[in-house]
Amino acid sequence: MKKRILMLATGGTIASRESGQGLAPAITSEELLGYVPGIGELCRVETVQLMNLDSTNVGPSHWLSMARAIEARYRDYDGFVVTHGTDTMAYTAAALSYLIQRSPKPIVLTGSQRSICMENTDARMNLYNAFLYAAAEGSRGVSLVFDGKVISGTRARKERTKSFNAFSSVDYPELAIIRDGRLIRYLAELDYRDGPEFFHRLEERVLLLTLIPGMGADALSALRDSYQAVILQSFGVGGVPGGGSGPFARAMEDWLRAGKTIVKMTQVPYEGSDMAVYQVGYQVKEKYQLMEAYNMTLEAAATKLMWVLGQTRDSEEVRRLFYQPVQWDIIR
């Protein structure tokens, strides 16, 4: 018997038409499926038009809506496909990985770089592959399927703005590839027999501050009262200008004294941080109770911090949850 898969449409380029002022989401979920009739040979499909947004406008409240929609229908389907704009799809994939943990059923995100109504488009193949993976035995957890790659929801990053091979799996292997309609798994899926577990709260007041050479600490100080946490994205393996006694260190100390959370990570896309390597990082890490993202992606670090702070404000529990691996998001 064919598996029953629910598609949740949220908009994005895949569902866009020309508006006279640029592309805008306008194609319905039923119309999307009509462009790829072969999906009906893979599984039984039903659709829900959850929203119809450019993914630039998708944020925490929408992630919670997606998770609630899946939770409400979880028992009725064998898997889920979420169509989404590419610009923030890696954030959504990471957020859903924390909001829906240990899912024995697959939750697959996909989209495209060109609208499904265009002749030369990647949309039809991406959509077909997403359903192929969702309907396959052994697929589980949250993943992103794009350009024939299956990427863990916590490891995806958009690295190209126009090319069809837009997404990469950062510092972790792809879970599988799809070639000529054939699914080839590289890694065994995790055992999720004790799941799923759904979560319903996110803390939105998370700030990303990316340092540039010569930048002062004024911005960090000025924004302290507006945010619950900051991700401080610095250079190389994780140094802080001035080390443990400079203005940045003093501004970070003020954040921590105010009961706020600080996560330190690198701007470098691959191989992660290690603050202990150089004095400018070692002094800060030894002196202050901040956390380090190591080899997490920015998308995973940001959404995990939102999830953690949505569950607790206790500093020890925040640290424990942040460092607790979820779907290969952190490797230490």
CB 112 within 8 A of CB 62: no
Catalytic residue among 10, 13, 261, 266: 13
Task: Determine if the peptide bond prior to 60 is cis (ω within 30°).
Answer: no
Sign of CA dihedral 294, 189, 318, 92: positive
Report the distance separating Cα 266 and Cα 301, nearest Å: 11
Angle CA(271)–CA(220)–CA(208) in degrees, nearest 5? Answer: 40
Task: Say whether 161 is catalytic.
Answer: no
Residue 228's nearest CA partner among 250, 256, 269 is 256
The pair phi, psi for residue 256, each rounded to 5°, is -65, -40
Place of tokens 């299956």: 150
Pairing of strands 156-158, 149-152: unpaired
Measuring CA to CA, which residue among 238, 262, 273, 266 is closest to residue 315?
262
Neighbours of 110 (CB within 10 A): 31
Kindly give, in sequence order, each residue whose CB lies less than 8 Å from that of residue 266, ignoring residues fewer than 6 positions away: 233, 234, 235, 236, 237, 238, 272, 273, 293
Neighbours of 61 (CB within 10 A): 9
Tokens of 223: 């924004």
- Residues marked active site are found at 13
